[in-house]
Amino acid sequence: MESHWKRTYWVVWTANLITSIGMMSFLPFFPSLLEEMGVEGEASISRWAGVCFAAAPLSATVSAPLWGAIGDRFGRKVMVCRAMLAIAVFVGGMGLVQTPGQLLAMRFGQGLFSGFIPPSITLVSVVAPEDRQGRVAGNLSTALAVGGLLGPLLGGFLVALLGSYQSVFFVVGSMAFVGAVIVWFGAVEDTSKREVRRSEGREGQTGAAAVLRTTASDIGDVLRLRALRSAVLVVFALQFGLGAVNPTLEIYVEELFAGRVLEGTYWETLTSAAGTEGLGLHERAVALATSLSFAVMAIANLLSLSMWGRYGDSIGHRRALIHCAVLSVLAILIQAAAPVFALLLVGRFAMGIGMAGVGPLAFGLAAGEATVGRRGGAFGVVFSARTLAAATGGMIGGALYPLLGARGVMMMCAVLLVATLGTFRFARRAPEAS
Residues 269-291, mean pLDDT to the nearest whole number: 63
Instruction: Specify the fold of 221-429.
Output: Growth Hormone; Chain: A; (1.20.1250)
Which is more confident, 334 or 359?
Answer: 334
Range from 43-52, 219-228, 288-297, 357-366 carrying the lowest mean pLDDT? 219-228
* pLDDT per position as a tens digit, 224-249: 667 777 778 888 888 888 878 776 77
* Separation CA 147–CA 196 (nearest Å): 35
Q: Over 90: is that where the pLDDT of 218 sits?
A: no
Residues in the chain: 434
The answer to whether the 1-197 and 221-429 domains have the same CATH topology is yes
* Separation CA 345–CA 414 (nearest Å): 18
> What Å distances lie between residue 328 and 58, 233, 335, 414, 425, CA to CA?
24, 15, 11, 8, 15
Which is more confident, 327 or 53?
Answer: 327
90: nearest Cα among 52, 138, 117: 52
Class of the CATH-defined domain 1-197? mainly alpha
- Provide the pLDDT for residue 333: 93
- Provide the pLDDT for residue 176: 93
Mean pLDDT of the chain, nearest integer: 78
- Provide the pLDDT for residue 120: 86
* pLDDT per position as a tens digit, 331-352: 999 999 988 888 999 999 999 8
- Provide the pLDDT for residue 200: 44
| Residues near 102 by beta carbon (within 8 Å), at least 6 away in sequence | none
Predicted model pTM:
0.70
Domain residue spans of the chain:
1-197, 221-429
Long-range pairs for 191-200: beta carbons < 8 A, 24 or more residues apart: 191/75, 193/126, 193/127, 193/372, 193/373, 194/72, 194/73, 194/74, 194/75, 194/76, 194/373, 196/372, 196/373, 197/72, 197/73, 197/372, 197/373, 197/374, 198/73, 200/373
| Residues near 362 by beta carbon (within 8 Å), at least 6 away in sequence | 231, 232, 234, 235, 317, 321, 382
- Provide the pLDDT for residue 429: 46
Q: Over 70: is that where the pLDDT of 318 sits?
A: yes
| CB neighbourhood size of 316 (10 A) | 16
* pLDDT per position as a tens digit, 63-100: 877 777 777 777 889 989 999 999 999 999 998 998 99
Residues 137-162, mean pLDDT to the nearest whole number: 79
